[in-house]
Structure 1
Amino acid sequence: MKLALRQGRLEILQFLRSRESVVFTIGFPVIMLAIFAAIFGGTEIDGGVTLTQYFVTGMIATGLMTVSFQNLGIWIPIERDRGVLKRYRGTPMPKWTYFAGKVVMVLAIGIATTALLLLISVLFFGLRLPATPDRWLAFGWVSLLGITACTLLGIAISSLARTSRSGSAVVTPIALILQFTSGVFLVFTALPGWMQSVSAVFPLKWMCQGLRYVFLPDSFAGQEPAGTWELGRVALVLALWCVAGLALCLTTFRWTAPREG
């Protein structure tokens, strides 16, 4: 545990010293929320729910995915290409410590990003925080399962990038497509049926749906594709992605860059 915390502190310091990462990871969800709030204002969907309130749930899910899946998928190839992973592997430090440090960093930055989004949403966009313990409990397990799945998938997808320059090209398009098809930037039920079916395979859609249960009134459940919140299915799909992500990490992760030519 001491090794993990020390490595986590190192990862957090490295993250904070990269201004581009801080602005993109923490600032992107806040900026997008402000843009959508300015465009749609108090426009209502149904049941007294405004589009701004709806987008807040998607922005929280996006923030968790950005700090885990997108951040790791871009930065691990950079460390691999620079030989950082190779040097780590050659030290007496246990290999799991490297991954534990990434997990500590993701959790710390994820909590900070979520807290900032909630604060801004409550102060400026009229978001109502959950009033019952069961909603807060759901907020906890949806966020934990979601960020765990995205962290494991971010580590796994980092092996697809052959060089440090290609990490962003591999990860960013996937993240953007998932955001547009999972109910982040658009109301999910307004999307074509085939698009809803495809996005239902991936974890971001279920993270957004679980967070809508947390922050939106019960009357809005009727606007979901199944007419209910489907919390059991939310937990099942996210848990399955955690298992799948772990399996992919164990079978695909590389400590050294592939040889070219």
Structure 2
Amino acid sequence: MTALAPAASPARTPLGSSIARTLRLGVLRAGYEIRVYFRQADAIFFTFLFPVLLFGIFSVAFSGQGNIGTAPDGSGGISQGAYYLPGMAAAGILLSGVQNLGVDIANERSDGTLKRLAGTPLPVVSYFLGKMGQVLVTGILQLALLIVIARVAFGVELPTDPAKWLTFAWVFLLGIGTSAVLGIAISRLPRRGKSATAVIIPIVLVLQFISGVYLSFTMLPVWLQDVANVFPLAWLAKGMRSVFLPESFASAEAGGAWQLGTVAVVLLLWLVVGIVVSRFTFRWIRKDS
């Protein structure tokens, strides 16, 4: 009697190969997202050039008030441009992630892009990686442009201590990652793509005003400082101030110090919150569509 051959088991994709494929598709998707981003005039203005333009306006408008943090005899201090640089850097990160992705994904859900992607082999993780890659690249370019303009056009002195630039690197990376995942999470708030800007931009604008971007943080009432400290932007702005402002300005901060350890903890916590919320709320297609 002839023995029956065992049935062939279905081929399984090795875990390493699956991860590599997901990463490769994420990189390809990031390239696509970057190209699309720079073809949208409104996105370039409101999320890429907006912090740069505001930096120029604030630096010129308040230049007549003289330096900030001068000694009693009028010496020392820093220019208005130097003072506003860290806040605008933090605002740029927030706009690149939260506002840009929040509006963009809401529009893609509304115009059917997510529905079409649901019918392709593109994994959700690759889609997320593409969006985060786009935010990372545009965020780097935006901050580079902001810093160059601050130095060349307004004579802002940049840090010379390598430790300052190391702090800048980890604050930027944590900030851009946190902003990106929160942008994905907040994209669920608008019910339609047409209402995305009306829903998301006011949230972002209020956070900027209460988080020390346009106003000195310690000028705000204590209760409003407490509210702002719940959210990541206030800590992101503080981290950027620790890089670009002299050490003497740390005493003017809430708590009298830069508190970089707390900056890292808060940004990490919001990064985790953003990932969890995105994981449980993101859908290719709305349930009520």
Query: Which residue, 249, 257, 261 being the options, matches 1:232?
Result: 261
Please identify the structure whose Cα radius of gyration is greater. 2
Query: Could you say what the CA RMSD is over the residues aligned between the two structures, in angstroms?
Result: 1.3
Amino acid at match of 2:240: L
Distance 2:66 2:191 in 1: 45
- Displacement of 1:19: 1.1
Residue number in structure 2 paired with 1:68: 97
Distance in 1, matches of 2:195 and 2:262, equals 35
1:113 alignment partner in structure 2: 142
Pick aligned residue for 2:242 from 206, 213, 226: 213
Residue pair 1:81, 1:256 contacting (<8 A) in 2 also: no
Instruction: Determine which of 179, 183, 189 is the counterpart of 1:154.
Output: 183
Unmatched runs of 5 consecutive residues or more in structure 2: 1-22, 71-76
Q: 1:60 and 1:246 mapped to 2: Cα distance?
A: 23
1:20-35 mapped onto 2 (5 Å cutoff): 20-35=42-57
- How do residues 93-242 of structure 1 correspond to structure 2 at under 5 angstroms? 93-242=122-271
Tell me which of 72, 78, 83 is aligned to 1:49.
78
Residue-by-residue CA offset, 1:52-85 (whole Å, 9 max, x unaligned): 2121111011111111110001010110111111
Shift of 1:49: 2.7
Letter in 1 for 2:29: Q
Greater length-normalized contact order (CA 8 Å, ≥ 6 residues apart): 1
Structure 1 residues 69-124: Cα deviation after superposition (integer angstroms, max 9, x where no partner): 10001010110111111111111122211111101100110000000000000012
Give, as a single letter, the amino acid of the residue that structure 2 aligns with 1:216: L
Query: Is the contact made by 2:238 and 2:263 (CA closer than 8 Å) also made in structure 1?
Result: yes
- In structure 2, C-alpha distance between the alignment counterparts of 1:258 and 1:127, rounded to whole Å: 51
The alpha carbon displacement at 1:169 in A equals: 1.3
Match of 2:41 in 1: 19
**Equivalent pairs, count:** 260
- Who is 1:36 aligned against? 58
Deviations 1:39-58 (A, max 9, x none): 11163332513332121111
Alpha-carbon shift at residue 258 of structure 1 (Å): 5.0
CA contact (8 A) 2:79 2:156 kept: no
Is the counterpart of residue 8 in structure 1 residue 36 in structure 2? no
Name segments (4+ residues, structure 1) moved above 6 Å. Answer: none
Distance 1:161 1:65 in 2: 18
State how far apart, in whole Å, the 2-side matches of 1:112 and 1:45 are. Answer: 28
Secondary structure, counterpart of 1:73 in structure 2: helix
Distance of 2:122 and 2:254 partners within structure 1 = 48
**Partner Cα separation in structure 1 for residue 285 and residue 174 of structure 2:** 29
Deviation at 1:3, TM superposition (A): 1.5
1:206-228 superposed Cα distances (whole Å, 9 cap, x missing partner):
11100111011111111111111
5+ long unaligned stretches in structure 1: none
TM-score, normalised on structure 2? Answer: 0.87
Aligned sequence identity (%)? 46
Cα deviations by residue, 1:158-193 (Å, 9 ceiling, x for unpaired): 011110011111110010001000111111111111
Counterpart contact for 1:36–1:52, Cα < 8 Å:
yes
**Contact 1:15–1:22, Cα closer than 8 Å, also in 2:** yes
Alignment check: 8 A CA contact 1:162 1:258 kept: no
Q: Distance in 2 between matches of 1:33 and 1:230?
A: 25
